[in-house]
């Protein structure tokens, strides 16, 4: 247990972190470390067809691509002849293009799996 002041009667509030004993300005207890902030990925790109929350429209969803999302999405949209977007690290293509996308990503050297049945 640290021997630092944890409660001050002068200010009437806690001035130091009870876990590490440092002042709240210097405390890093609540901030995640670099090891925990790294994206958890297994190196596999997953492709699935989805219709949930899209008004019945079918979308091809591609997850697991670590970098170059915008360039890859542009390339896949041209291949499929459809629109799409990148949201939160996930590529979404309008329509069911799972087979075309899987073939192209395999050509580009990605390890690809079909997800969602």
Query: 81 and 28: one domain?
Result: no
Please report the DSSP string for 40-97 in residue order.
---SEEEEEEE-TTTTT--EEEEE---S-HHHHHHHHHHHHTS-EEEETTEEEEES--
Query: 17 and 50: one domain?
Result: no
Count of the separate structural domains present in the chain: 2
Query: 22 and 75: one domain?
Result: no
Residue 98, domain CATH: 3.30.780.10
d(CA 63, CA 58) in angstroms, rounded, equals: 16
Query: 46 and 81: one domain?
Result: yes
Each residue's pLDDT tens digit, 5-39: 555 565 556 667 777 777 767 777 766 544 444 44
Each residue's pLDDT tens digit, 38-49: 445 678 899 999
**Domain interval for residue 70:** 39-114
Query: 45 and 86: one domain?
Result: yes
């Amino acid at each position: 247990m640290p021997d630092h002041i944890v409660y001050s009667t002068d200010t009437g509030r806690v001035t130091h972190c009870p876990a590490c004993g440092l002042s709240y300005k210097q405390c890093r207890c609540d901030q995640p470390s670099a090891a925990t902030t790294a994206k958890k990925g297994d190196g596999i790109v997953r492709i699935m067809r989805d219709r949930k929350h899209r008004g019945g429209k079918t979308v091809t969803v591609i997850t697991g691509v670590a970098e170059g999302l915008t360039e890859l999405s542009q390339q896949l949209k041209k291949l499929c002849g459809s629109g799409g977007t990148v949201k939160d690290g996930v590529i979404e293509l309008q329509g069911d293009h799972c087979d075309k996308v899987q073939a192209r990503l395999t050509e580009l050297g990605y390890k690809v799996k079909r997800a969602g049945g």
